[in-house]
Amino acid sequence: MTEIQDTAAEQRTVVFHRRGTPRTATRLAVPLDEAAAMVGVSYNTLWRAVRDNQFPGVRIRDRIVIPIKAIDMLFDAATTTGELVDSAQWTAHWTASLTPGDAAA
């Protein structure tokens, strides 16, 4: 179990260089193709879900990234309940649970 957790943590760490010094940062999101591979669906399937607001995504100019937290939350819901979780219904429920006050806090 520790090996799996260590591998997941390593995959979520990115190394970048600033003034010649290597630094690390935790990735908050992954590109659409990486997220599709993580989830086990095709790029087009995940793209359609994001486009149709059936899965959370973030657009930065012409790039779309998927928050790793959203992937974790979706799969946590499935493993916690032990039931089939539909991503469109989960996203709608999650979005409805957010209030404008939550965004400001």
Does the residue 98 lie in any domain?
Answer: no
DSSP H or E segment with residue 104: helix 100-104
Does the residue 39 lie in any domain?
Answer: yes
Tell me what the pLDDT averaged over the chain comes to. Answer: 84
Q: How many domains does the chain have?
A: 1
pTM above 0.85, yes or no: no
pLDDT in tens, 53-99: 999 999 999 999 999 999 999 999 999 999 999 999 999 998 888 86
DSSP H or E segment with residue 66: strand 63-67
Range of the domain at 63: 31-87
List the strands of the sheet with 58-60, edge to edge: 29-31, 63-67, 58-60
Does the residue 72 lie in any domain?
Answer: yes
**pLDDT attached to residue 23:** 79
Does the residue 19 lie in any domain?
Answer: no
Distance CA(99)–CA(105), nearest Å, equals: 10
Does the residue 60 lie in any domain?
Answer: yes
Distance CA(77)–CA(85), nearest Å, equals: 7
Does the residue 64 lie in any domain?
Answer: yes
Distance CA(64)–CA(54), nearest Å, equals: 14
Residue 17 · residue 50 · CB < 8 Å? no
The one-character DSSP state at 19 is: T
